[in-house]
Chain A
Amino acid sequence: MDYPILSIIVFLPLLGALLLQFVPREKANLIRGIALITTLAGLALGIPILTDFTAGQSAMQFVEKQVWVPGLGISYYLGLDGLSMPLFLLTLVLTVISVLASWSIKERVRQYFSLLLLLEVGMLGTFVALDLILFYVFWELVLIPMFFIIGIWGGENRNYAALKFFLYTLAGSVLMLVGILALYFTSGLNTFDMVQLMQSGYKHYLSTFIFATFFLGFAVKVPMWPFHTWLPDAHVQAPTAGSVLLAGILLKMGTYAFVRIIMQIMPGEFVRFAPYIAVLAAISIVYGAYAALSQSDLKKLVAYSSVSHMGYVMLGLASLTQISINGAVLQMVNHGLITGMLFLLVGYIYERTHTRDIAKLGGLSIKIPILGGMFIFAALASLGLPFLSGFVGEFLVLLGSYQVYKVYTILGVLTLALGAFYLLRAVQNAFYGMPPASMEDFKDMSGREFISLIPLVALIVVFGVYPKPLLQYIDPAVSAVLQMIRGS
């Protein structure tokens, strides 16, 4: 590749956002169109990434490296491997879908799409950055647009939710900065280059401190119990596209960072603390499911189910087996697709019914059969129906973790049943039966909404039936991670 494809993809949305500033703000459709074209162009540029990516190569690909701040050894260093590539592409897909889902935004349209595009820059950058400071910059860059998206276009309680989201994530990540700096000065390499740090076999008496700062930053983002309390507020108050990206991408940034940074730079510490992480993961699984069980708000239910599903990812990582880590990475992608789809549907339904209270809904599959059918499909995928993608990831996680943490695995399996229960109960109450008499008639899905859902449905089915193409990228990268873990 003789042109800097990753930089182009990462910064293309920034260009789009700048372009938007020259469009008169009344021309809402033109603004939406530019945003859509920008994200579609990004997706199109992602195709060569998929075709030119060499599966099975553990080294970074599409590497770009430039000195950025020479005084501190900070470099502009981008690259992809089997871990980040699927998440990178997932981001491209989900942002296109988010733009489509945001067509119904009517107020301050130009600001909204500018922020959405800016958010994409941060998300994409996080997955390709291979320099710790650069990573941190992208990681924090995500905060500002999301803060405004929740705070301006969110639900009733948006003010509180936006601030809580920002403060929690900021508090988690600032300590990480100290950790990064400590790593820099104690490694003796004078570099923030992640790849070099990974290979250096870093060990120092500050390791535990640095691990703690990273752990806190990432655990808030994932979020793991007990750092999860920002999530229900942010997810519920955010506008539809905000929830889709929060659940689909932002949470993955946390789990991705666990693998990329903690497991690869300080594998020794991760192994040492893995049993504790597994406890928190198990609590997240059970707690998230129980919390979801008691929700009457459809969106809150999906939000808490996210906590539970991310718990599986963390359990998979903490188990440290080839199968479970493969499953965890796969589950990151699948959860992004499935929960993204669920939030999308909840948003579409809410636009029609103006309520998300399950008790007030009913008979939606009669009123809006296509939309209802889609929701049932997504719910089935989420509860782990075989041949849909949610099954594969969680199955691999549990298969792998059983060898290490029998009790947690059994808890995880039992919680799957709980998940099936609350999802099916919600489906039953909201979609089956007769619609309440007070409910007016709605239009079923529009063409735009249909188009936004189709790629998700297709990917969920494909990865459910035949996950191998995805695993062939992930597996070699996982082997590389495990090699480092064993070497520690």
Chain B
Amino acid sequence: MQIEWINLMPELIIFGIAIAVLLGEMYFSTNAKRFLGILSLLGIVAALFSLTSLYGVEATEFMGMFSIDLTATVLKGILLVTTALVVLATSRSRMTIGEGEFYSMMLFSVLGTMFMASANDLIMLFIALELTVLPAYILVGSKKTAGSAEAALKYFLLGLVASVILLYGMSLVYGLTGQTNFTAIANALAGQAIQPLLLVGMVMIVVGLGFKVAAVPFHFWAPDVYEGAPVPVASFLAVGPKAGGFAALIHFFPVALAVAAPIWAGLFAILAVLSMLLGNLAALAQTQVRRLLGYSAVAHTGYLLVGLAVADSFGYTSLIFYFLVYSLAALGSFLVILATTERGLGENVTDFAGLYKRAPMLALAMAIFLFSLVGIPPLAGFMGKVYLFSAAVQGDLIWLAVIGVLNSVVSFGYYVTVIRQMYFVNPPTNEGLPVSKPLYLSIVLIMAAVVFLGVYPSAFLSIINL
């Protein structure tokens, strides 16, 4: 078996850095540990560089288990960029665990997600998925408070159940086809009538992965985890593991289960509607900002699933674009919360009162992120929705597009509560809220990206050939 190691370079770099950072935590002096964040950042940047050389490469490694293609490369790119921003933003934060532990756990999780994005085999997919979520469980529980422990336990138990269901579904598919490779499964199924057992297996896989991306009705962990986890962890969770879940969905269903496309597409359409509706309605009732964003994340899973419900390549690429614009805005808003909580502000919506005066840049950034999440032009979220709903309309799912746009009106109902506090209410004190430089830089970069991608989306779209 010949392996082109160069094709695995990004993964190898992340793996190496994750180990190095973990060792650094053990052997470095307290002073030197401060540089572990910078080391992680450099590692991610190096991985990004090696990833760019893979742009346009189509190959498979490990006897077809690991596939390198445009979708995988772009999703890895998004993942690495957002992770780099998280690392940059948290490099001066006070951690609940050692810096090295924090960053290495995060990097291991990223590594798992990268493998998920490239997985072309059921076994590879499952192992990668576990590698993604296990460090995430640890990170969620890393704050030694009841809330953090509760969130971690909930995340772990529900995640475990999801994994088991997923595994059972996979075993059914394997039992029917005798194959674990996605392409081989597709070949085995081609031309045959769809058996009921295959549908059972398919539904179980949908349920298992639905848990991972927090689609309704498998979303219960999301608000608790977003609320209970330490803030730096929550910002990472908003982007990292979710990317893996969607990467798996985009790879597995269209390739392996192409024969049953209308069935799973319909299933995803239903999940999309439920997630949008319930996510948005539940968010309306929230007064805790992170919980609110947790439900908004559920709603956005719904929007993203529209891309899968369309079930064609235009749908998937639109999904990837929307994932990028969503994760930027979601990450940005979590980082603003990180910045305010680091200065001792609470996490209720009312704690944002008069933020425009105390931290004008943070307030502006937050407003831009929230407006982008609603999908107001000329911000990136708007272009993302244009593409996603274009895909829906083209795929004869106008009703889904209608539900989608109406939901964005509903979503304004809760995002506005934060905006209103920030701009319409006077602050309790006029005391400024200084922000550490790396965190500030990270927020400003994301804000610039959200505006830039809204005005000039082709910068990204040309990469994914849209």
A residues whose Cβ falls under 8 Å from a Cβ of B? 68-72, 111, 133, 136-137, 140-141, 143-144, 148, 151-152, 158-159, 162-163, 166-167, 170-171, 174-175, 177-178, 181-182, 184-185, 206, 209
Residue contact A141 to B378, C-beta cutoff 8 Å:
yes
**Chain B interface, >50% SS class:** helix
Q: Could you jot down 20 A-B contacts, CB within 8 Å?
A: A71-B458, A71-B462, A72-B386, A137-B378, A137-B382, A140-B377, A141-B377, A151-B420, A151-B424, A152-B424, A171-B409, A174-B406, A177-B405, A178-B389, A178-B393, A178-B405, A181-B401, A182-B398, A184-B390, A185-B394
Contact A69 B461 (CB under 8 A): yes
Q: How far is the CA of A69 from the CA of B389 in the complex (A)?
A: 16
Of residues 367 to 420 in B, which have CB atoms within 8 Å of A's CB atoms? 371, 375-378, 382-383, 385-387, 389-390, 393-394, 398, 401-402, 405-406, 408-409, 412-413, 416, 420
Bound-state Cα–Cα, A423 to B432, Å: 51
- How far apart sit A184 and B424, CA to CA, in the bound complex (Å)? 39
How many angstroms from the CA of A137 to the CA of B455 in the assembled complex? 10
Residue of chain A at shortest CB distance from B409: A171
B423 at the A interface (CB under 8 A) = yes
Beta-carbon contact of A174 and B408 below 8 Å: yes
Q: How far is the CA of A175 from the CA of B420 in the complex (A)?
A: 25
Q: Measured between alpha carbons, how far is A104 from B382 in the docked complex, in Å?
A: 36
Q: Which residues of B contact A68 (CB under 8 A)?
A: 458
Q: Top 8 closest A-B pairs, CB basis?
A: A174-B405, A137-B377, A71-B466, A181-B393, A171-B409, A178-B401, A140-B377, A185-B394
Which secondary structure characterizes the binding site on chain A? Answer: helix
The chain B residue sitting closest to A178, CB to CB, is B401
Q: Would A181 and B386 count as touching, CB distance under 8 A?
A: yes
Q: Which of A181, A206, A209 contacts B389 (CB 8 A)?
A: A181
Do the beta carbons of B398 and A144 come within 8 Å of each other?
Answer: no
Query: Are A72 and B409 closer than 8 Å at their CB atoms?
Result: no
Residues of B contacting A151 in the complex (Cβ-Cβ under 8 angstroms): 420, 423-424
Q: How far is the CB of A202 from chain B (nearest CB, A)?
A: 15
Known: A72-B386, A178-B402, A184-B393. 4 other contacts (CB 8 A): A137-B378, A166-B412, A167-B409, A206-B398
A70's nearest neighbour on chain B, judged by CB, is B458
Q: Given that A141-B377, A166-B416, A170-B409 are contacting pairs, would A209 and B371 also be in contact in the complex, using a CB cutoff of 8 Å? A: no
| A143→B377 CA distance, assembly (Å) | 10
A72, B386: Cα distance in complex, Å: 10
Which one of A72, A158, A178 has the highest number of Cβ atoms from chain B below 10 Å of its Cβ? A178
Measured between C-beta atoms, what is the minimum distance from B397 to chain A in Å? Answer: 11
- B393, closest chain A residue (CB): A181
Could you tell me the distance between the alpha carbons of A151 and B229 in the complex, rounded to whole angstroms? 34
In angstroms, Cα B408 to Cα A410, docked, is: 43
B98 interfacial by beta-carbon distance below 8 Å: no
Residues of chain A with a CB closer than 8 A to B393's CB: 178, 181-182, 184-185
- A72 near B405: Cβ-Cβ < 8 Å: no
- Shortest distance between the CB of A210 and any CB in chain B (Å): 10
B64 beta carbon closer than 8 Å to chain A: no
Residues of A within 8 A of B356 (CB): 111
Assembled-state Cα–Cα distance A457/B339 (Å): 53
Q: Which residues of A contact B458 (CB under 8 A)?
A: 68-71
Q: In the bound complex, what is the Cα–Cα distance between A81 and B37 (angstroms)? A: 58
Q: Does B457 contact A (CB under 8 A)?
A: yes
Contact-residue size bin, chain B (C-beta under 8 Å from the other chain): 20 to 34
Q: What are the residues of chain B within 8 A of A163 when measuring CB–CB?
A: 416, 420
- Looking at the assembled complex, report how far the CB atom of A136 sits from the nearest CB atom of chain B, in whole angstroms: 7
Q: Which residues of A contact B383 (CB under 8 A)?
A: 69
How many whole Å from B309's CB to the nearest CB in chain A?
15
Complex CA–CA separation, A182 to B390 (angstroms): 8
Question: Which partner residue on chain B sits nearest A121 by CB separation?
Answer: B378
Contacts of B398 in A (CB 8 A): 178, 182, 206, 209
Distance (whole angstroms) from the CB of B220 to the closest CB of chain A: 29
Shortest C-beta distance, B423 to chain A (Å), equals 6
The answer to whether B424 and A159 have CB atoms under 8 Å apart is yes
Q: What residue in chain A is nearest B374 (Cβ atoms)?
A: A170
A177 touches B376 (CB 8 A): no
Minimal beta-carbon separation of B453 from chain A (angstroms): 11
Q: Give the chain A neighbours of B420 by CB distance below 8 A.
A: 151, 159, 163
Q: Are B424 and A171 in contact (CB under 8 A)?
A: no
| Chain B minimum-CB-distance residue to A176 | B405
User: Is there contact, CB below 8 Å, between B406 and A175?
Assistant: yes
The interface bits of chain B over 123-153 (1 if a CB of A lies within 8 angstroms of the residue's CB, else 0) are 0000000000000000000000000000000
User: Do residues B390 and A133 form an inter-chain contact, with CB atoms below 8 A?
Assistant: no
Pairwise interchain contact B423-A167, C-beta atoms closer than 8 A: no
Q: Please give the distance in Å from A72's CB to the nearest CB on chain B.
A: 6
Contacts of A141 in B (CB 8 A): 377-378
Identify which of B377, B402, B416, B424 gathers the most chain A CB atoms within 10 Å of its CB.
Answer: B377
Given known A71-B461, A72-B390, contact A167–B413 (CB-CB < 8 A): yes
B146 CB to closest chain A CB (Å) equals 36
Chain B residues with Cβ under 8 A from A137's Cβ?
Answer: 377-378, 382
Output the least CB separation between B337 and chain A (Å).
Answer: 22
A158 to B424, CA, bound (A): 9
Are A177 and B371 within 8 A (Cβ)?
no
Q: Which residues of A contact B394 (CB under 8 A)?
A: 185
**Chain A residue, CB-CB nearest to B408:** A174
Closest-CB distance, B334 to chain A (whole angstroms) = 22
From A111, A162, A167, A175, contact of B402 by CB (8 A): A175
Could you tell me the distance between the alpha carbons of A175 and B406 in the complex, rounded to whole angstroms? 7
A307 vs B51: C-alpha distance when bound (angstroms): 59
Among B383, B389, B398, B406, residue most surrounded by chain A Cβ atoms (within 10 Å)? B398
A181 touches B409 (CB 8 A): no
Q: A69-B457, A70-B458, A182-B398 are in contact. Are A177 and B409 (CB under 8 A)?
A: no
Q: CB distance B423 to A148 under 8 Å?
A: yes
Q: Is the beta-carbon distance between B377 and A136 smaller than 8 angstroms?
A: yes
Which B residue sits closest to A25, measured CB to CB? Answer: B360
Which residues of chain A have C-beta atoms less than 8 A from B377's C-beta? 136-137, 140-141
Interface hits, B57-103 → A, CB 8 Å: none
User: What residue in chain A is nearest B458 (Cβ atoms)?
Assistant: A69
State whether B424 touches A177 (Cβ < 8 A): no
Please indicate the chain A residues that have their CB under 8 angstroms from the CB of B461 in the complex: 69, 71
Q: In the complex the two chains form, what is the Cα distance from A184 to B383 in whole Å?
A: 15
Q: State in angstroms the CA–CA spacing of A133 and B389 once bound together.
A: 13
For the complex, what is the distance from the CA of A206 to the CA of B396, rounded to whole Å?
A: 11
For the complex, what is the distance from the CA of A39 to the CA of B408, rounded to whole Å?
A: 34
Instruction: Report chain B residues within 8 Å CB of A133.
Output: 386
Are B376 and A144 in contact (CB-based, < 8 A)? yes
CA distance A185 to B393 in the complex (A): 8
When each residue 427-466 of chain B gets 1 if its CB lies under 8 Å from chain A and 0 otherwise, what string results?
0000000000000000000000000000001100110001
Tell me which of B371, B378, B390, B423 contacts A181 (CB under 8 A): B390
Minimum Cβ distance to chain B for residue A196 (Å): 18
